[in-house]
Amino acid sequence: MSIIKRDPRDILSCGGYYSCVVGSSMISNFLLANGSFDRVLIIVLPHKYQQIVTNKKVLLRIILTVLITSLLMIHFHFSLYYQAEMKLSARTCEYYPDARLWIGRIWPILHSVLFAFLPSFIICTCSFIILWNRYHRKKKTVNSIAATHMQTLSLLLVIFSICSTLTILPITILHFFSSYFLDDNTDCRKIGMWKMLLDLCSTLMAVNYSK
């Protein structure tokens, strides 16, 4: 936002800006969870996979994911407005008085469940199912390099899933404390702490998506 002269939240409106940023992140996590579920079907039911998961069904799930996420983001357009005159404030987007309870208390809980916990739970569960399947299958078959390789990859998939969860959770948890850092009487020290923590959590999330 420091590269261009105008704040993107001023150009797109606060609702449009946060809908794009938060919505795209939620779509990415939902699609990753869908991909993990498909991966389990490939491993567990290889002969029936093509009958269960077709191109039309995959496309339908992608469209539904985008539509549902877009509907979940509509509330930003009615909850936030841009404060152009507050140049030195840490918040250029302000809550409407009627939406302060929703955007400050209720939405962080829903966002954490939908954005972080639910997709992460699905991804980790699917990874452990694949690991168990590969380990169990190796016991029944003759020990081979291919079987060992598949088991190693399954273990790496579990580690990746856990790391992915640990990089997503901090930024969702941080929003629970936004009222402490960004209250009406916020001092410079709290603003600095908020920016530092927000940058750190955003970096962790960016590392997750760069994988």
Domain residue limits, the chain:
8-210
Q: Which CATH superfamily is domain 8-210 in?
A: Rhodopsin 7-helix transmembrane proteins (1.20.1070.10)
Is pLDDT at 35 greater than 80 in this prediction? yes
pLDDT of residue 64: 93
Is pLDDT at 189 greater than 60 in this prediction? yes
Yes or no: say if 182 and 91 are a contact pair by the CB < 8 Å rule: yes
Mean pLDDT of the chain: 78
Average pLDDT over residues 152-161: 85
Average pLDDT over residues 15-26: 83
Confidence of residue 191 (pLDDT cuts 50, 70, 90): confident
Average pLDDT over residues 33-39: 89
What percentage of the chain carries pLDDT values higher than 90? 5
For 85-143, how does the pLDDT look when each residue is reduced to its tens digit (9 = 90+)?
A: 554 444 567 777 787 778 777 888 888 888 888 888 999 999 998 888 887 765 555 56
CA distance 169 to 64: 24
Yes or no: say if 25 and 115 are a contact pair by the CB < 8 Å rule: yes
Yes or no: say if 62 and 31 are a contact pair by the CB < 8 Å rule: yes
Backbone angles phi, psi at 81, to 5 degrees: -140, 155
Measure the N-to-C terminal CA separation of the chain; round to a whole number of Å: 24
DSSP string, 186-211: --HHHHHHHHHHHHHHHHHHHHHHH-
Q: Pull the structure tokens for residue 152.
A: 């190693």
